[in-house]
Amino acid sequence: MDAFRVRLAFRDLGLIAAIFVGTLLRPTGPLPPRASFPAPGAERLGLEDPANLSDVGMLGLLPGGFRRLAAGYCWIQTYAAWETGDALAVIAGLDRTVALDPGALHCWINGARMLAHDLPRWKLSTLGGEESLPRAVCAQVQEEHLQAALRFLAKAESHHPMTAMLAIESGILSWHGRRDVAAAVDAFERATRCDDAPFYAFRIHAELLRLQGRPRDAHRSLCRFLSGLRLRENTPLIGSQTGPRDLPPASLHGRGDPQPDVVLKRIRQLEQELGIDPIEAFKLSEE
């Protein structure tokens, strides 16, 4: 019976907290006319408008647990707005969510995807559809939202330094969204320096170097990767690494399947592309 009363008390406490949070976040004045999308201009997509955060001030004084509860409530509101295609409410909801709980990594990543992919599609639809619009207009809308998403991810990285998935998300948006290979290289390089980097980030980083016109750097990067992998596991992959001589041992972190055979095959392809003499090639002597 006592245990039942304790469970009931916790349930009531959660209900009261949810009602309290909802009350604080409810607008105190009349609701403005519902807009389906921000006015044109990248400045409306900066997610830095203080007006969006006017109702977060009181909640910012609450203990961390209550702030996380409020952030969860804001995230639910954001998701509901996303389902209805209300871009203004999505932007405001993302602002409030991450302001209350900057530690919510999934909100940063999914929020950036909303900004980069969903919001521009909605805007183009309100303008008559991508098929009926000039290519320049479509490109401008996409660029505005990609820039907003990248700013959002940059802000996330300031709260979560050395978090690989944020850098990878930024790199993917730069690469696929803007065809900005240089920015993608920088982002994936940041990812490879993180302890939680997946092994595929190292391979993508090397491929981006090649796309940037730096095949020799790509070759060196993969050689470092394979050497560092062997040192980390303290076991031979195929044999001992004996070249190139200018590659210092690299400390290597990572998760997932490193696919050393795939990496070695790519090294050989790059060596053929670069015309590297077999004597100077990456060698693995049998042990």
- How would you write the pLDDT of the chain (287 residues) with one tens digit per residue? 555 444 444 444 444 444 444 444 444 333 333 334 444 443 445 454 444 444 555 555 565 678 888 899 999 999 999 999 999 999 999 999 999 999 999 999 999 999 999 999 999 999 999 899 999 999 999 999 999 999 999 999 999 999 999 999 999 999 999 899 999 999 999 999 998 999 999 999 999 999 999 999 999 999 999 888 766 655 444 444 444 444 333 445 677 888 889 999 999 999 999 999 888 888 764 33
pLDDT (0 to 100) of residue 62: 62
pLDDT (0 to 100) of residue 19: 43
pLDDT (0 to 100) of residue 244: 43
Sequence-ordered list of residues with C-beta below 8 angstroms from that of 73, at least 6 positions apart, any chain: 18, 21, 22, 25
Assigned domain for 255 exists: yes
The C-alpha atoms of residue 66 and residue 35 are separated, in whole angstroms, by 30
Assigned domain for 197 exists: yes
Q: What's the first-to-final CA gap in the chain, in angstroms?
A: 69
Assigned domain for 122 exists: no
pLDDT (0 to 100) of residue 257: 83
Burial class of 32 by CB neighbour count within 10 A (0 to 12, 13 to 18, 19+): exposed
pLDDT (0 to 100) of residue 149: 97
CB 236 within 8 A of CB 213: no
CB 181 within 8 A of CB 206: no
The C-alpha atoms of residue 74 and residue 90 are separated, in whole angstroms, by 10
**Three-state DSSP class for residue 239:** strand
CB 22 within 8 A of CB 93: no
Number of domains in the chain: 1
pLDDT (0 to 100) of residue 233: 58
Assigned domain for 126 exists: no
Number of residues written out for the chain: 287
Hey, which residues does 241 pair with through a beta bridge?
284
Total-model pTM: 0.76
Assigned domain for 176 exists: no
Residue 209 belongs to what domain range?
190-287
116: closest CA among 162, 72, 178?
A: 178
Three-state SS sequence of 93-137: HHHHHHHHCCCCHHHHHHHHHHHHHHHHHHHHHHCCCHHHCCHHH
CB 104 within 8 A of CB 110: no
Assigned domain for 129 exists: no
**Which residue is it, tokens 């592309």?**
273
Assigned domain for 49 exists: no
Assigned domain for 164 exists: no
